[in-house]
Amino acid sequence: MKEPNKRKIINDPVFGFINIPNNFLYDIIQHPYFQRLSRIKQLGLSSFVYPGAQHTRLQHSLGAMHLMSEAIAQLRLEGHEISLEESEAVQACMLLHDIGHGPFSHTLEHSLVSGVNHEEISLWMMQKINREIDGKLDMALQIFTNNYPRKFLHQLVSSQLDMDRLDYLSRDSFYSGVSEGIIGAARIIKMLNIHNDQLVVEAKGIYSIEKFLVARRLMYWQVYLHKTSVAAEKMLMNILRRAKELAGRNVDLFASPALHYFLYNEVSKKHFTDSEVALRHFAMLDDSDVICAIKVWSEHSDIVLSFLCKSFIDRRLFKVETGTKPVADERREVLLRQYMTHFNVSAEDATYFMGEEIVSTDTYSPKDDNINILYKDGTVKDIADASDMLNISVLTKKVEKFYYCYLKL
């Protein structure tokens, strides 16, 4: 019996319509691992600053798949042969590239799990789905891990000009309302080409690439590293650290079974690789476990935990100061003493009411992979050399800022 065609059209505020062209991709979208992404916000705590930024990792993954289909169409127009199987494989990569993200991903990685990052979990999840569907993801996995012979396919999936970035910059700026972050994704894709199995951008696209890099930088400072978001993250990290500490002391904490598992165990890489338990619990975690627990903890008897949770829930966030060097020890001491007195807690407990973070960003990093510009005469140049504006010294300069977050009594 012929399987019914599951071709679907999904409405997307950013790109209009997204086609799901066939059953293979449709079935990935229907997988519980993928549906979980609908319960994880792409920008985590940014909605404290930008209330519109509610979009999910599921939307981003669909959008990246959509841009991939446009990129493939463009490269075919340029005369490059890309097989149907390759095309489906890179689209599957985009659907699955973020599958291993947990709720409030970066915060979680620094508190609940140790020594495991979301890239590894993504790979494990992809491998697990692959086993379930009899190896249909083999080529996608090869491309994802850069073991497929045609290198430009991996570059479309993961490089400084991949479909991941093109979607998230477009989508994050759209939803946050920071319209200056909008990049010309459509125009950049129209400029893509392949040269010696490398993804390149045609020379007339230089200005669009410059704009893309500047927009990316703007999004970093204006959205991703917005000081209020960092304050919220720092607060959430302290909450989870405190909860974990209490759990370590066998204090009773409300938690869903999945969250409970990560609170009451020291989960490391070994837990994921030795059995399926860790991954199974991880696959049940989403934003709701964390938010729901924090609300309940806001009435916990531990004053540190409950105070932080209540403040977090009611959006009374840490104050933040930014600077070019770490906060002075004296200032930290003064505040800690205030907290000790005010909450009647130990010096160690008082540290939960503050946090520090060094944030840094380089706009473009030519070490690993490059954005290559193709000229009409066939020569290829790195964008850092091709652009007379964005010269290499500027582009690769790492900018570092110190964020000091603390409770203002």
Give the residue among 197, 189, 194 at the shortest CA–CA distance from 166: 189
In 122-152, which positions are buried (b, 16+ CB within 10 angstroms) versus exposed (e)? bbbbbebbbeeeeebbebbbbbbeeebebbb
Q: Which of 20, 25, 45, 58 binds a second copy (CB under 8 A)?
A: 58
Sheet holding 319-323, edge to edge: 319-323, 399-406, 354-361
Q: Residue 4 interacts with a second copy (CB under 8 A)?
A: no
Largest CA distance in the chain: 76
Distances, alpha carbon 350 to alpha carbons 235, 242, 251, in Å:
13, 11, 19
Q: Which of 184, 243, 355, 404 binds a second copy (CB under 8 A)?
A: 184
Torsion (CA) 356, 122, 14, 211 in degrees, nearest 10: 60
CB of 35 to a second copy, least distance (A): 5
Q: Residue 56 interacts with a second copy (CB under 8 A)?
A: yes
Q: Residue 160 interacts with a second copy (CB under 8 A)?
A: no
- 405 contacts 319 by C-beta, under 8 angstroms: yes
Q: Which of 383, 390, 405, 407 binds a second copy (CB under 8 A)?
A: 390
Q: Which of 218, 225, 359, 392 binds a second copy (CB under 8 A)?
A: 218
Instruction: Locate 318 and state its tokens.
Output: 């840490």
In the region spanning residues 7 to 26, those forming contacts with a second copy, defined by CB under 8 A, are 7, 9-14, 16-17
Q: Which of 110, 128, 136, 217 binds a second copy (CB under 8 A)?
A: 217
In the region spanning residues 86 to 105, those forming contacts with a second copy, defined by CB under 8 A, are none
Q: Residue 394 interacts with a second copy (CB under 8 A)?
A: yes
In the region spanning residues 343 to 372, those forming contacts with a second copy, defined by CB under 8 A, are 363
Kindly state the number of chain residues that form the binding site for a second copy, as judged by CB under 8 A: 75
Q: Residue 84 interacts with a second copy (CB under 8 A)?
A: no
Among the residue ranges 130-138, 157-165, 263-271, 309-317, the one whose residues contact a second copy (CB under 8 A): 309-317
Q: Residue 391 interacts with a second copy (CB under 8 A)?
A: yes
CB of 267 to a second copy, least distance (A): 19
CB of 257 to a second copy, least distance (A): 6
Q: Select 5 or 127, whichever has its Cβ closest to a second copy.
A: 5
CB of 347 to a second copy, least distance (A): 31
Q: Select 154 or 216, whichever has its Cβ closest to a second copy.
A: 216
